[in-house]
Structure 1
Amino acid sequence: MLALMMDRALSLPSILEYAATYHGDREVVTRTIEGPIHRYGYADALARAKRMAKALIALGVKPGDRVATLAWSTHRHFELYFAVSGIGAVLHTVNPRLHPDQIAWVANHAEDSVLMFDISFGELVRDIAPQLSTVKTLVAMTDRAHLPPEAPARTLVYEELIDAQSPDFEWPEVDERSASGLCYTSGTTGNPKGVLYGHRSTVLHAMALVAPDAFNLSARDAVLPCAQMYHANAWCTPYAAPLVGAKLILPGRMLDGPSICDLAVQEGASFLLGVPTIWVGVLDHLDKVGQKLTTVRTVAIGGSAPTASLIRRVESQLGATVRQIWGMTETSPMGVINTPLAKHAGEDAEAVVQRKLKQGRGLWGVDLRIVGDDGQELPRDGASAGALQVRGPWVSSAYFKNDGAQAFLPDGWFDTGDIATIDADGYLRLTDRAKDVIKSGGEWISTLDLEDAVSSHPAVALAAAIGVPHPKWDERPLLLVVLRPGHEADPEALKAHVAERVAKWWTPDEVRIVETLPIGPTGKVLKRELREAATS
C-alpha cells in the first residue's frame, strides 16, 4: 500500500524560495572581489537568481549541461548555486588553487559549456582558454567597469546578463535525483575525480546540517563559512543558511586572520567553519591585537584534524565551542560531527578536550564501519583500527565517468582511504590516511597523534609527521614543525616534549624546524611533497 502524501520533489530552488518568502530581508553579506561590502536580502537574491536562470537559458544552456565557476565566496556565486541547478544544469565549482593544467583538465573532463569567473582570474582564464575544448561561453562575474582587460575578447559580463532579464520566472520541474553540482577532489594522487551531487542528496544533507546535533543553525544565526564555495560547496552552508533563514556572510577571497576577524566583528558572526590553518591565522591575529570575538557561539573545524592546543586556543580566545567534523568531497561533505551526549555532562576540562579530538559521532544519513585486512568488520571498541567505509543518501555511489571505481565496493559501501577506530558511543577517531600512516617494525604509528603531541608545546604553530625510510624498521617518524611568530624552541626539546606524550617507540628520530609547510588546494598539508623532499 502506498502512502497518500503529496509527492513534492526535493529541489534546490525550493530552499531559496522558502528563504525569500519567510526571511526575505535576512541578509547575504559579501566582501566583494571589487572591494566594497555588498549586502542584500534573500528576496533580492532569489530575484537575481531567476534573472540569471533566464540568462543561462538564453545562452543555450540545457538540462544536464555543465556550467563551471572559477570563483570565490560571493553573492554572485551564491546566485549561481540556485540559477544553474534550478534549470536542470550542473554547477561545476572549480578549485582555482589547482595547477592551471589541472584546471583545464577538469574543465575538459567535465565537458563544461560555460565558464563563469571572478575578475581576479582574468589572466588565468586568458592563459587556459586555448586548452578548453568544450567551453563555448566565458562570463566575467562583475560589471562592465571592472571587466579585467586581460579577459579574452569574447567574454560576457555577468551584470549585463542579469540586467537584460526580468525576475518573472517559474522554475522548471526537475527530477530530484538529477545532478545539481559537480565537484572534483583535490587530486593529491593522480588526476582529480568528479563527485556528482544531486538535488535530493543536497537538500537532505542541508537538512541534516542544521539539526541540533550537527551545526545547530536557526534564523537567529549569522554564518561565516571560511571554507570557499569551490571547496565541497563551502561545506553546504550556502544551502543550510537559507534553509533556516540564517544570515550568510561570504568572505570573498580574503581568508587571512585580520580580514576574517574584521568581518566577524562587523557582521556579528555566530557560527564559523573552516580548516585548522585558517584558525591559526585568526588566533595569531587576535593575540597580536589583544582582541576577542564576542559574538561567536560555535566554530566547526574540519578538513584535517585540529590539535588539542588549537581547540583550547579557539575556545579561550573566541569564547566559542569547537565542533570537529569529518567528511570528504564524496560525502557532500558531512560524515560525522563531534557533539556531546547526555552522559558527558559534568566532564572536566581535559576530558572535554580529549573527546573533542575525536572526529565525531555518526548522525542520521551516514552509516560507518571499520574493516580489517581480512575484509571483516571490526568491533566498536575504540581500539580496533581498520579501513573506514561509509554509505548514505548524500554519499557518492561512483565518480563521474566511473573513474576510481575500485573505491566503491560491491556491497554498496565507499572506501574512504582513512584508517580509524569507532568507540562504543559511536565516536569516530581517525588514526591516519592510509597513504600517510607510518609503518615501523610491522606496527602503525599515527601521524595525527604525533602532531597533536608536539602542538601542545606553546611555541608550535603547525606540525606534520611523515615516515622516512629506515634500514631496520622500514620507516621511522620525522616531525616537521613551524613555530609561532616570536617564539623559539630547540628541536631536541621538542623531541623530549613528544616523548613524554606518546609510546617510547613512537618518538620521532628527528624533529626539524621549518619556515613553512606546503598547503594544498583544500588547506591540508601536502605530506606527499614532504615525503618526496625528505627522500630526494
Structure 2
Amino acid sequence: MAGYDQTLKPFLWRAERLHPQQEVVSRTHEGIVRNTYSEYADRTRQLANALEEAGIEDGDRVGTFCWNHHRHAEVYFAAPNIGGQLHTINPLLPPEHVQYIVQNAEDKVLFVDQSLLEPFEAAYDEEAFETVEQFVVMGSDVPETSLEPVTDYESFVGAQDAEYDWPELDEENPAGMCYTSGTTGKPKGVEYTQKMLWAHTMATLTPQGLGIEEDDVVMPVVPMFHVNAWGLPFSTTAAGAKHVYPGPSPDPADLVQLIEEEGVTMTAGVPTVWLGVLEYLQENDADLSSLERIVIGGAAAPESLIRQYDDLGVEVVHAWGMTEMSPIGTVAHLKADLQDISKEEQYKKQAKQGLVVPGLEFKVVDDDGNEVPWNGEDFGELYIRGPWVTDSYFKRPDANESDFEGSWLKTGDVVTVDEDGYIKIVDRAKDVIKSGGEWISSQELENAIMAHDDVSEATVVGAPHEKWQERPVAFVVPTDDAAIDEDAFLEELNEFLMEDYPKWWTPDSVVHIDEVPKTATGKFDKKTLREQHDIESLLDDAPDPDAE
C-alpha cells in the first residue's frame, strides 16, 4: 500500500519551504510583476479561500480563459488542491466550440483575461454558460462588460486570509481538464487526476524527461491553456526553479527581451514560435547566452531549425505528446552510446520524436494488428499507455470505443522505430499520402522543404490523382527576401529534394501562399487549407512523376 496519496500539494509546499526567495516573473498589461515563491504561495492560499467562499466543492470545475501569467499560475495550484478541477479553455477556438466546452464541463467559476474579454463575450451564451456562478477578470479592475456577476481578480482574492488548511485529497480526484481542438468533430474532454499530474511531473523532472533543475529559469511559451503548458508550471514549481511567464500575445521581440533580462535557461513552444525568433534575430542583435535549451513540440521540429539553433549554442530538445497524455510521451535526448556519432547523425536523431520517457510503454502495430520490428523502416500506428495516459474521454462513450483498446491509447500517429528505440512520426494516419501503392510522409516532406533557404513555412497535402491515387502538393510561404515563380521554383525545389529523396516523393505542384493556416494550438491546419483551395484542380497540368 502507498504510504501517502500522490497529489500536487507537496510540490508547492516544497518550493515555498526550500526556495522562498525564488521568483515567479510575469509580463502583464500592467508591466513586469515579480513575486517570490513565498508570496506566490500566500496568494495561492488567498485564492483557495476565495474559491471556497465562491462555493467550489469537490469535483467542481474552475475554468480559465487566460494567457501565461502569475495569476493563471495561482489558479493552477489553488483549484485542484482544494478538491476542484482546473479546466483550461483555449481562447483561439471558434465561439461554438467554447460554448460546447463550457456547457459540457459545467464550469462553476470562470477566470478571463482582460485582453480576451471580446472573444469571450462573443462566445457567451446564457444557456451554455448557465452553470457559471462567478466571472473573474484577471487584473485589478473590471472593464466595461456584459458578464455578471463579475469581479476583478485582485478584489476576489485581496481580502482573503493567506492561511489555508489544504484538505487531504484522494489521488484519484479529478484535478485538471483539457479539451482536444476538435478539428475533426466536437472537442473531446480529457480529465487528469491528481495522480496523473503527479506522475507526469515526476517523469518530466528526470534527465530522460526535461531535466529541470532548481537553478533553471523556465519560460513556457506554449500556452497555459494548451495541455497545462506541457506541465511546466507544475514541474518548474516541483524543482524550485524560477518561472518566467510571457503574458498576452508575446511576439519574438518580447520573448528575446525576457530571455535577455531574466536569464532564461529553458523555454518551450511550437516550431512556428522559434522560426519567428530566428527571423527576428536576423535583423536584430540579441544576447541569448543564458539560453541552454528549447523544448519543441506540438508539431515536428524541422532539422534545419535544430541546426540553426545549434549554431547559436542552443540545444533543441524535440518532444512529442498528446492532450490524452498530460501530455509528454517522448523526448529526443541522445543516448550515451550515441554521443560520439557524427554531427549529421545526431541531427537526424534529434529530429525524431525521440525515446519514450520513463513510466510509459508503447507498441507499434500494422493494419493486421501485428507489432512491427524496430528497424526504422516498417511503420504502423503508435499505441501507448502509462500512469498519466487517459483511458477514456469525458462524456464521450462513442470516442472511447474507437480511440482506445483496453489500457492502450491509439494515438492515430503512423510511426517507425529505429534500432536505438527512437520513435519517428511518419504522419498522422489521416495525412499520409498514398501514391502508387507506396506511402509518402507529408510531415517529412514539409520539413525537407522548409530546409530550403527561400522557404519560411511549408505544408504538404495529398491531391487526388487518376493514375497514382494521390500525389503531393506543396504550399509554401517564401522568406521575406525571396521572390518565387511557382513553375520555376517547382523545378528548383524538386532538384533540392532529390538530393535526399526519390523523384516520386517530390511535389507535383507548388502553390505560393502568404501564411499557412494554423489550428488553435499552432499546428498546420490542412483541413482549412483544403477548404481554401481547389486541391483537385492543382494537378491538371502536372507532369507524370514516372516520366524522365
The TM-score with structure 1 as length reference comes to: 0.96
Report the equivalent of 1:496. 495
Report the equivalent of 2:171. 176
Deviation at 1:487, TM superposition (A): 2.5
Report the equivalent of 1:209. 204
* Structure-2 change in CA distance of 1:122 and 1:533 (3 Å): closer
Q: Which one of 10, 21, 26 corresponds to residue 22 of structure 2?
A: 26
Superposed counterparts of 1:42-441, under 5 Å: 42-127=37-122, 128-130=124-126, 131-144=128-141, 147-317=142-312, 319-403=313-397, 404-441=399-436
Which SS does the other structure have where 2:144 is aligned?
A: coil
Q: Which amino acid aligns with 2:98?
A: I
Deviation at 1:342, TM superposition (A): 1.4
Report the equivalent of 1:479. 474
Superposed counterparts of 1:437-476, under 5 Å: 437-476=432-471
Which SS does the other structure have where 1:401 is aligned?
A: coil
Deviation at 1:347, TM superposition (A): 2.1
Which 10-residue stretch deviates more, 154-163 or 402-411? 402-411
Question: In structure 1, how many angstroms separate the alpha carbons of the residues matched to 2:493 and 2:260?
Answer: 36
Which SS does the other structure have where 1:182 is aligned?
A: strand
State the number of aligned residues. 528
Deviations along 1:303-349, whole A, 9 cap, x unmatched? Answer: 000111111112223x1111100101111110000001111122222
Deviation at 1:292, TM superposition (A): 4.4
Deviations along 1:224-248, whole A, 9 cap, x unmatched? Answer: 1110101110010000001111101
The TM-score with structure 2 as length reference comes to: 0.94
Deviation at 1:151, TM superposition (A): 4.5
Report the equivalent of 1:40. 35
Unmatched 5+ residue regions in structure 1? none
* Structure-2 change in CA distance of 1:149 and 1:460 (3 Å): same
Deviation at 1:377, TM superposition (A): 1.3
Which SS does the other structure have where 2:79 is aligned?
A: helix
Which SS does the other structure have where 2:404 is aligned?
A: coil
Deviations along 1:264-301, whole A, 9 cap, x unmatched? Answer: 11100000111000001111111111334111111111
Which SS does the other structure have where 1:240 is aligned?
A: helix
CA contact (8 A) 2:260 2:287 kept: no
Which SS does the other structure have where 1:150 is aligned?
A: coil
Question: In structure 2, how many angstroms separate the alpha carbons of the residues matched to 1:293 and 1:459?
Answer: 25
CA contact (8 A) 1:30 1:39 kept: yes
Deviation at 1:363, TM superposition (A): 1.7
Q: Which amino acid aligns with 2:23?
A: E
Deviation at 1:153, TM superposition (A): 4.4
Deviation at 1:129, TM superposition (A): 4.3
Unmatched 5+ residue regions in structure 2? 536-548
Question: In structure 1, how many angstroms separate the alpha carbons of the residues matched to 2:130 and 2:239?
Answer: 40
Question: In structure 1, how many angstroms separate the alpha carbons of the residues matched to 2:150 and 2:120?
Answer: 10
CA contact (8 A) 1:407 1:414 kept: no
CA contact (8 A) 1:27 1:41 kept: yes
CA contact (8 A) 1:495 1:510 kept: no
CA contact (8 A) 2:91 2:119 kept: no
Deviation at 1:125, TM superposition (A): 3.1
Q: Which amino acid aligns with 1:339?
A: H
Q: Which amino acid aligns with 1:506?
A: W
Deviations along 1:463-500, whole A, 9 cap, x unmatched? Answer: 10100111111110001111122233442212322233
Question: In structure 1, how many angstroms separate the alpha carbons of the residues matched to 2:483 and 2:3?
Answer: 64
Report the equivalent of 2:538. none
Question: In structure 2, how many angstroms separate the alpha carbons of the residues matched to 1:153 and 1:88?
Answer: 25
Deviation at 1:392, TM superposition (A): 0.4
Question: In structure 2, how many angstroms separate the alpha carbons of the residues matched to 1:297 and 1:227?
Answer: 17
* Structure-2 change in CA distance of 1:50 and 1:129 (3 Å): farther
Question: In structure 2, how many angstroms separate the alpha carbons of the residues matched to 1:151 and 1:381?
Answer: 59
* Structure-2 change in CA distance of 1:451 and 1:328 (3 Å): same
Question: In structure 2, how many angstroms separate the alpha carbons of the residues matched to 1:407 and 1:258?
Answer: 44
Question: In structure 2, how many angstroms separate the alpha carbons of the residues matched to 1:25 and 1:151?
Answer: 40
CA contact (8 A) 1:495 1:511 kept: no
CA contact (8 A) 1:241 1:247 kept: yes
Deviation at 1:121, TM superposition (A): 1.9
Q: Which amino acid aligns with 2:136?
A: V
Report the equivalent of 1:9. 5
Q: Which amino acid aligns with 1:461?
A: S
Percent identity, please. Answer: 39
Deviation at 1:194, TM superposition (A): 0.5
Question: In structure 2, how many angstroms separate the alpha carbons of the residues matched to 1:75 and 1:405?
Answer: 36
CA contact (8 A) 2:91 2:120 kept: no
CA contact (8 A) 2:353 2:422 kept: yes
Q: Which amino acid aligns with 1:324?
A: H
Question: In structure 1, how many angstroms separate the alpha carbons of the residues matched to 2:322 and 2:525?
Answer: 16
Question: In structure 1, how many angstroms separate the alpha carbons of the residues matched to 2:370 and 2:323?
Answer: 26
Report the equivalent of 1:513. 512
